[in-house]
Amino acid sequence: MNDDARDATLAPTPSIDSDHPAVCEFAARHAVGDDDRARAVALYGAVRDGFRYDPYRVDLSPAGMRPSRVLEVGHGWCVPKATLLAAACRAAGIPARLGFADVRNHLSTERMRQLLQTDLYVWHGYTEILLDGRWVKATPAFNLALCERFGLLPLEFDGRHDSIYHPYDRAGQRHMEYVHARGSFDDLPLAALTADFERTYPGWMAQAARLREADFHADAAAEAASESAADAREVRA
């Protein structure tokens, strides 16, 4: 990696506001450890579990997608949480960037499925962190409590191996399938992401404000309970 490329993955950008005071304070508080790997792992855990995953509250405005906004509201979906991890790494002096892929079988709810009308989720976001001379993928979206509640295998990150979603959940059912890699970016490609969301999910975008009034975790919990009850009846039968 040349100096220019390294500098680009350390510098603040319009969407990765790693120089924001709140981001700097978050990084200083959580980037603990004897080396970059340990500090990156600590930041991963702080982002994954410190901010509740919530795809109902999507705000595609520039301000709504910045890491400082995630710190302010205390929740985020996959892209803002990945952006927060990238920003915190940069604030701690660790080169980081964003990676994106289209996936299927993403954790969802009936409310979301009705709005999306597809099981394809475009622009699923994760973070790429430069450690020991190589880029390592880290996906901090699903907090540990969410995984435990809904039978998902939590994603761990050790700074050595890619941390991307498991193809199956705890019960052996299909969970996440990566179908198209969109590449790596030094800044959030917000215009392209927004255009694809509007084209792929017109129903979701039209109902975004109303969706923000609903409770993703309550919906997901109700579905999980319903599925568990159905499984129990099937066993008794």
Q: Is the pLDDT of residue 119 over 80?
A: yes
| pLDDT level of residue 1 (50, 70, 90 thresholds) | low
d(CA 81, CA 78): 5
Higher pLDDT, 7 or 71: 71
pLDDT attached to residue 108: 77
Longest dimension (CA), the chain: 65
pLDDT attached to residue 4: 62
Domains held by the chain: number = 1
pLDDT attached to residue 2: 60
Which residues constitute the domain of residue 106?
A: 3-236
Domain with 53 in it: what CATH number? 3.10.620.30
Q: What is the pLDDT of residues 18-45, one digit of tens each?
A: 999 999 999 999 999 999 999 999 999 9
pLDDT attached to residue 12: 97
Q: What is the pLDDT of residues 164-219, one digit of tens each?
A: 877 666 666 667 889 999 999 999 999 999 999 999 999 888 888 888 889 888 88
How far from 76 is each of 50, 83, 96, 142, CA to CA, in Å? 10, 10, 19, 10
d(CA 38, CA 41): 5
d(CA 91, CA 97): 12
- The percentage of the chain sitting over the pLDDT mark of 70, rounded to a whole number, equals 89
CB 184 within 8 A of CB 98: yes
Q: What is the pLDDT of residues 80-97, one digit of tens each?
A: 999 999 999 999 999 999
**Tokens found for residue 16:** 């990765």
d(CA 49, CA 63): 23
Q: Determine phi and psi for 184, rounding to 5 degrees.
A: -115, 145
pTM assigned to the model: 0.91
Q: Determine phi and psi for 165, rounding to 5 degrees.
A: -65, 145
